Every structure is written in C-alpha cells, then in structure tokens.
Structure 1
Amino acid sequence: MNFVKLFTDYKIDFNTRVNRGWTNVTCPFCDDKTFNGGFNDAGDYFHCWKCGGHDFKEALTRVVNISFNEVDILIEQYAGRNSLLNKLNKKQAKAIQLTLPTNTFTPAERKYLKQRNFSPKLLHEKYKIVGGGITGAWKYRIIIPLILDGKIVSWTGRSILSKQKIDELKIPRYKNLSIEQSVIDPKSILYNLDNCMSKTAVLTEGAFDVMRLGDGFFCSFGTELTQAQIIEIKNRFSKVFIMFDNEVEAQIKARKFGLQIASMGVDVEIVDAYGDFDKNDGGELTESEVQIIRKELGLNAC
C-alpha cells in the first residue's frame, strides 16, 4: 500500500525513517507524541512501539479520520498499480473438495516411515497421511494433507528417495499441490491448526516435526511465512514459541518472523529445544525427549 501518497494526500505527518519497511505516524491509540505508530509497507498490519499491535483497518480509520465503511475503498484506492496487477494475476484456489491419490502405503513407504520411528498406522489415522504409490504425479512420495476444520484443503508430498537419487533425477524433495488444484491456497494457512486448540502454540519448521511433537504444534512447511499466515497466527494465538531447526539461517528466519508476529501483539519466544538433546530437528527426537520439551513449554503430555 502506498502510505506515503495516502498520508501526503490527507495532510498527515509521517516518517519513513523510523524503521526500515515501515511508514510511521503518531499512534492514535495512546498518548504518543512522536512517530511510534507504524504501518508495515509489505503487509496489512499496524504496530505501535509504545502500546503494541492493533487492528490494521481500525488504525487507518483513526489516522485518516474516516468511517469504517470507507476503509476498504481507501485501501483499494491506495493499493498502487503493482498491487492491483498482482491481485488480478494472482492464482486462485478452485477445487471444491479433494480426494487423496491413494488410501494406503507401499512397502517402501512404510519402511521410510518406520526407519524414522513413525507409525504409518498412527499417522494415517491422526493426520490422514498416505503414500503416493509407484506411478503417477505423486509416486515415491509421502502425501501430507493440509487439513482445516476437518476438511482436506491441499497437500504436499515428501519424496522417499535418497538425496543422491533426488539430485540425479533433479526433482524437489517436497512437491506441493498447485494453488489451482487446492480448496484453499496452502500459503494462506498453516499445518495442524485443527490440533492447536489452546491460545498458546509452537511454530516448528516442518510437518514431521509437528507429527513427532504432537498437538499444540504447527508449521508453515519451511522457514518462510506469508503475510496471510502471520495474520492467521495473530488471530488464533496469544503466545507463540518459535522452534526452528538449529541451522544459522533457520534461526535468523525465526528472529525475523518472531519480530513481525510480536509487532501484531502476540507474545513470542524463540526457543532452541533441539540443541539441548544434540538434535538438528524435531523428527530426530525420542518419545522421552518429546515429553520433556512439551513439559518445558507448558503443554500437556500427549
């Protein structure tokens, strides 16, 4: 959104040099006398460095002094040409319902899961995990459905082939169902939200971390988060632990997105639970280690 043009047109004092990537104004929610109130240039959220995060649309109505009924028109007006083009060209989810490509596992797929100390039966019953079979678009992959409100809305497939074979064939380790084939754009929601019923939850890096650690854990299939996913976190949780893998890049991303989530009023804490057990990720944990982590984070045993 072009906040500079908006605030210039409405003769509102602003500052673009307080924080990189933010357009700052005097916060309308507190007794701010400077430019503590920030609109994020890349997304629709507002944060005051004095009193915390607030609803984006309400912040706009107060700053610009318009009614709530007018705010959507204002946002559309100042979205900018590139934003409008992106909206027009954006891929849309078109499916009404999805059926998984299979309903079972091949011997190789069962072996892959068991070697990683997972029960194929448990994963199928709790998470609707299935195999991709030996032919077709999902062959030699573990299919991980993305479920929302009990309904499969998309899925991703994890190759069971060795890293050497993946490199030889030049195929991705993870393959996602396309947006057009999905019921909901998978980048707008998060994995395992149906099993995160408390206002406190833990964001991990991957689905197998979630399946190892259990209820109360969710992931974004990697270390990247979209603005839609950040808003989903903000709407669902009051406290979030971020528990990414131990690699330096992953920890940098954890801090980056932790700041963004915290800017929206969510209590965020970054934890290095895997390092305590000399493990790189959640998939390597033993059951006793899982229970220790859950207890330390204040989650019930599972």
Structure 2
Amino acid sequence: MVKIALPPTTLGQDLLITLSILATASLPPTDVYIKVGIEPSKGITYIETNADTVKLSKAVINVLSKNLVVSGARRARLPLVPTDLNALRKVLGRAVSGKADLRGALYNDLVGVLKQKDFIKYLDINNVSTRYGRNIEIYLGAPKGALTLPRVMISDGFFELGKLHGIKDVKTVSGPPRLGKVDLRCSPEVAPLMHASVLGFEVLNFAVAGNMFHLFITLKAPPDICIKYMDAKLLAKVFTYALKLTSKFNFIDIYEDYEVHRLYLLLKIFHKYIKSLAHLFASSPELSSLG
C-alpha cells in the first residue's frame, strides 16, 4: 500500500484524482482500489492505493500519452505564465515557448520526461515537507531544487486568501500589506506530472474582457470513499462521455451559465448510465457522493 500526496489546492487534487481513477481503470482486472484520505500531522490530502507502483506509474503515463482530452484547447493558448515556463526550462533542459502552436510538442516532451522519472516515489506522503507558521511551506518531494506548482493550479486557491486576508504566494510590491506567504512547490521529478496534467485536462480556455478563463473537467472523490476497479472503469466511461458532450459546446455557452451546463452534463450522464450507476450505488452506497 502506498499513499500518494496530492497538491494542496482544489484543482491540483482534482486533476491527480482524475488521473488516478483513469489509470486504475486502465489496469488489467484486479482487486486494486484507490481511496482519498487526509494526513492530519501534515495537513495533506493523499490517495491510498494497493496497486503495484510500477504498474500504476506506467498506467498514468499511458493515460497521458493517449491524450484523452479531445478539445478546442489542443492548439489553444497555454495555461502557463512566465514562472511556469521557467520551471519547465529546468525540467526539460531547453528553452520553452508559450506559443499555442507548440503546445502539442511541449505536452509530448513532458510525457517523455515523465517516463524517466519515479514520480510516485517522490509523491509518497513520507516525502512531503511542510512548515506551518506565519509563512506556509509545502514541498511535494525533496525540497532541494523544488519548483513552483503551475500557476493555474494554485492561483484560484489563494486568490481570496491574498485579497481578503493578506496571505499571498508571491512577493508584495504594491497594494495591501502581506501578512504571510504560501510557498507551494514540487521536486523536479514531480513537476512534469503537474504540468502535463494541466495541459492534458484543460478542455477550453478563452479571454473575456481581458481576463483568461480555463475550463477543466475532473472527477471528485471525497475522503474515505473506496473506489474499486470496476467502479473506476465506470467512472472512466462517464468522464470520457462528459468530455465528448462538452466538446460540442461553444465556450460562450458555458461561460454565460456554467451551472446550467453542469446540470445538463449530469442529466445526460444519468440518462445514459442510469442502470450502471444504480447498480454501482446499490453495491457501494458511499460512491453516491462522487461528483
């Protein structure tokens, strides 16, 4: 059994949970399971699994290699900022361009580098370093040479903290005083996974009134919910179907009424998979809380 640490932000956790479910579903039939938990001593959410880590690593890479997300984001502007590009330069050992037409090549390079990394080892909960005080420091993997997590992965999580409470993850040069700093990083062995997840699961991105919006479709798994192999297989089908439905929409339709789009997806999913979902929830009632 291994406990895989997750990034301490909503998007970061959802991306890796989704990737773990899809990877588990791609394994040969087995009694494998995954379950989300929280390590109280470190305040870190993790995925517990009894899967062989070597096989799971290969399954994660296979999922990313298949590039399951077929969407308008494939050749769209990258959801990356200069600090992300600088981190990727250190990971890939070359200059990285943010041009949209090079997005596919960058994604493939990240997956290629990931094949050479023992990323699950570095994401083991025992390899997470945390320090809580006025400043908060969380390092996934070895602190030495740690790189910042993708900006889009952390910005939404700390926007309100910075705006309303003075807690920021960047240096303050103007505006309200900074009461504390949050530093979220990961080791170079883990960085390719984080950035590939962001690029691979972004469905759409678009600009409205000068502001960039990014749409990700993910699976959620509340703590202590045991997802078995057959559960993961069904959830993978549901996820793929949701992507297919979303690809038919214009980004303006989603932007103008996100909740209506979400309700539409839920109704279509239940209509298509009602028998399978009814059987799933009957055999595992706790799974009814999955979103």
TM-score by length of 1: 0.24
Q: Larger % of helix: which?
A: 2
Larger relative contact order (CA 8 Å, sep ≥ 6): 2
TM-score by length of 2: 0.25
Which has the higher Rg, Structure 1 or Structure 2?
1
